[in-house]
Structure 1
């Protein structure tokens, strides 16, 4: 595993190892979406546990992008101050941290007393249920979105969020263009049927994501990254295979020209691709072999069910520069140290506590996972 513990330059910063902590929604912010002391402890634990690069849970860029009750935001000064406390302790622990910028687009629930209808590229609702884990019972269906009249306004919101992230002390920002959220919705022809410059051809559907990336680079320079999931499935995403390859190949190649710090390829996972109307939406294909060769300027990361053994093989054979782990970091605050010293990765996931709830102790299934003694 020694290759996983060699330093890596991403953008203009150096990270201590190739083991990153992926963004994962946890819903432990305050009711006003301000990061709190529970979140500070959570991120500090994992920085002390050896994460080379931490990417925050998806962070809302404006109050109009709400889906989850206590997901954090980064549009107010109170939120900036809350995040600053977190970036400070992460840096003191020796890790680096990016803020993942997020707009859910059309993915708001259809509850009568729920959030107002979302805005998407087109007025087409996502089929299925809200929330990330579709096997959890009781989640409402998605609502009917409104078409975004002028997508350039949302591009400006992303840029403002990046400015706030810089004030909050983040080392960089990651654009969430995966999992069926807004940028992904623009890319996919099943959710984007616009006839203006933001829809139609692959080039037009990629325009929104590329304009957002350009605006982020204006703020953070080389410390801007991108996360994509071409395999779809998640949140009712999926085009025919050739259209998928054509669209994402163009998007990745153009994004790579911006000299981003890294691009993360999120592998297809059937567990996150629910059966809707008798079939799955996703398009399983080898994400790394198809798109990895298009990334020549940015570093390449992969995420999605990667084991430590596979991570070692992928990095040592130069197929990727680094690997992000998700659930393993939730359940093991010392994951990198466990990998380094050959300790078991055996903490069980507390599924009922994946997402915060006002009626439960926020520490449970969040900051109470045990570490081992070294």
Structure 2
């Protein structure tokens, strides 16, 4: 195909300018050293920055000590973690790229028996005392599923944790932060009526269920100004969330129109489209998927007038060029393609094929396999 000039053009994003619009999506990789970012993570991000990832969003990064399913996911609540991330951020900046930290809290999909949750000394907090179906904590005896969480008495407790995480991200040198508001984690749990049945100001109507996300965004803007963003997944499904279509549109329509009117616009909103492989069938053999399946971007894109859209999940290069050329989106995120091709943008520029096969068995690492396998060992193309 012709050189995708729109995809490869620069973009002003908040207070920064990125050299191209082929963003590297957040992807959990589970390679930290007991939640501390390490040298192999630095190599992973640096490879991709050198390969043309002008704008990188980190893997989901825990804002506090909680019993997450991903035992080796990184955090950003203590100085050792800040120092580890600074080592990575400095390397990415040295390669000429920009990098956001994705802030993450699992909410009800944490476990009280996880060592981290025990050390935290607090319950598994969520919007409401409603358990998610599924789950499999492979690092706990018996591989238990999800439990019924404790309804957080005051959501501002958790908003304060997000704000402190943003302060820490700024200390590490990040260019901005992205709230993980997708995939059935804490922010998504507040948005969804299946997981949020509160009767206070944070539950009930679409306006109330969006309050947590909006107040958290405002708190982060006190730290990062225009360099704050949000990732959403209106289709739902993963981690047992999903609402009827009319309620989904009403909720996300209110969220988007309200944040679009913020005094300082967000840098962008990333919309994760429907992905069948993370949409579970909770009643085996029923053929009934959990997600609310609809064209979320086509339905919701008109709600943003001032705020930039990024589209995520299953985007191909030709589609990315069309989305940007049409003005429907300012940019896109590639995920699996960046995982398997550390030189993705260079391949796009030179017309090279995407011929590395993702090593799915090593996506999240393994205690029995070298951490580099399926992580930093993907070859670049030949440009001789």
Work out which of the residue numbers 125, 129, 138 in structure 2 matches 1:119: 125
Match of 1:14 in 2: 17
1:275 matched residue in structure 2 = 281
User: Alpha-carbon deviation of 1:24?
Assistant: 0.3
Q: 1:291 to 1:120 in 2, by over 3 A?
A: same
Q: Is the 8 A contact 2:65 2:117 kept in 1?
A: no
Out of 200, 220, 224, the residue aligned to residue 216 of structure 1 is 220
In the alignment, the residues of structure 1 paired with residue 214 and residue 112 of structure 2 have an alpha-carbon distance, to the nearest angstrom, of: 30
> Residue deviations 1:130-185, cap 9 Å, x none?
48xxxxxx975222211111110100000000000000000000010001000000
The unaligned stretches of length 5 or more in structure 1 are: 132-137
1:126 positional shift: 0.7
Task: Give distance in 1, aligned partners of 2:179 and 2:257.
Answer: 16
Q: Say which SS state the counterpart of residue 315 (structure 1) adopts.
A: helix
Aligned with 1:201 (options 205, 223, 231): 205
Matches within 5 A, 1:76-95: 76-95=78-97
For the 8 Å contact 1:110–1:141, the answer to whether it is kept is no
Indicate the SS of the match to 1:3. Answer: coil
Counterpart position of 1:192: 196
Q: In the aligned structure 1, how far is the partner of 2:301 from the partner of 2:146?
A: 33
Q: Which runs of structure 1 show a deviation greater than 6 angstroms over 4 or more consecutive aligned residues?
A: 110-114
* Number of aligned residue pairs: 367
Greater mean alpha carbon deviation, residues 107-116 or residues 308-317: 107-116
User: Which residues in structure 2 correspond to 1:315-330 (within 5 Å)?
Assistant: 315-330=324-339
In structure 1, distance between residues paired with 2:241 and 2:267: 26
Please give the alpha-carbon distance, in whole angstroms, between the structure 2 residues aligned to 1:38 and 1:343.
26
CA RMSD of aligned residues (A): 1.6
1:257 positional shift? 2.0
- The yes-or-no answer on 1:56 pairing with 2:58 is yes
Q: Distance in 1 between matches of 2:100 and 2:145?
A: 31
TM-score, structure 2 normalization: 0.92
Name which of structure 1's ranges 105-114 and 207-216 shifts more when overlaid on structure 2: 105-114
Matched, 1:362 2:362: no
Structure 2's unaligned 5+ residue stretches are none
Distance 2:143 2:276 in 1: 19
Partner secondary structure for residue 99 of structure 1: strand
Aligned to 2:271: 265
Using the alignment, how far apart are the partners of 2:30 and 2:194 within structure 1?
A: 29
Larger displacement relative to structure 2 (92-101 or 64-73): 64-73
How far off is 1:16 after superposition?
Answer: 0.1
Q: Secondary structure at the match of 1:2?
A: coil
Aligned to 1:352: 361
Select between 281-290 and 215-224 the one with higher mean Cα deviation: 281-290
Give the alignment's TM-score, normalised by structure 1. 0.95
**Displacement of 1:20 after TM fit?**
0.1
Shift of 1:314: 0.9
